[in-house]
Amino acid sequence: MQKFAAVFVVALSACASLSDSDRQAIAGKTYVITGASSGFGRGTALALGAMHANVVIAARRTNVLEDVATQIRAAGGNALVVTTDVSHPDEMVRLRDAAVAKFSRIDVWINDVGVGVIAPFTNAPIEDYSRLVDVNFKSVVYGTYVALQQFERQRSGTLVNVGSIDSEVPLAYQAAYSATKAAVLSLSRALNEELRLAGLRHVHVAVIMPWASNTPWWDHAANYSGKRPNMIGMDDPQKIVNAMVWLSLHPQEELSVGWKAKGSYISHHLLPDLTERISADLAHRYQMETPPPASPTKGTLYDPMQQGQDVKVVEPAKTP
């Protein structure tokens, strides 16, 4: 029991931090990042630019990407803007080919696009769930496919798929979102076994699993809950950005970020039913009972919006 407790404490306290040698290793490497116009994607692109990486940034909002590219170049990095709707496989091929044409190779590919549908399950239109699968899971399949083709040719490369603690612990009122994030984790686990069997020791697939974070994701989510989207104890997005950069250099199959995500991950392995009940109770209280009312919205599920062009939301919803 004491040994287990020690492992539990170490797992909760472990953190990913960049060393000086890590920062130096990033200079000149080529990264492709989808979902780079806001949130984790934007934050990671800017961080890599400051470390003089080549950063290929993809999203639907060309004008916002151009702003990110300007900041990357001003910080000493190189940037390439490729306007991309990740739900179309041909556009992902075009993204990959543009990156290789410009920088000759791809060292790291980050599948970061994700959108939510927040609602009691049958309150949302069924077509919204279909679109959610297109954006959150099929896009990861497409990005993973084209990235691994390139990595197999190079015999090296790291793929980072952005999951969620919901990949491990399904969350009430975000059922379909949780399902897509679980699919991302399952896909990545299977591919790591294929790479092992193929002897591709220098090609890696990593999944990062953050806790809820104060990003524009909440404003961009489709929402039929009748309440303003919210979650207790949201993390600073910079914590996840730092972990994503670290993971790109030190790939491991799964990385949960922060003590809340790590604790949930471990708890779900030990007491799955209890963990799911606690998570559901928190979601019910902080998403369905206490937030102020809000009108239904499809968010950015089908079309981009100008709102939410930064890494974090300046004034997040208050936790009652």
Which residues are annotated as catalytic? 177
Round to whole Å and give the CA distance between 58 and 37. 8
Give every CB contact of residue 133 below 8 A, 6+ residues apart in sequence: 176, 180
Round to whole Å and give the CA distance between 290 and 285. 6
Classify residue 76 as left (phi > 0), alpha (psi -120 to 50) or beta.
Answer: left
Give every CB contact of residue 154 below 8 A, 6+ residues apart in sequence: 105, 106
Alpha helices (H) in 124-226, listed in sequence order: 126-133, 139-154, 175-197, 217-220
Dihedral over alpha carbons 217, 222, 224, 229 (to 10 degrees): 10
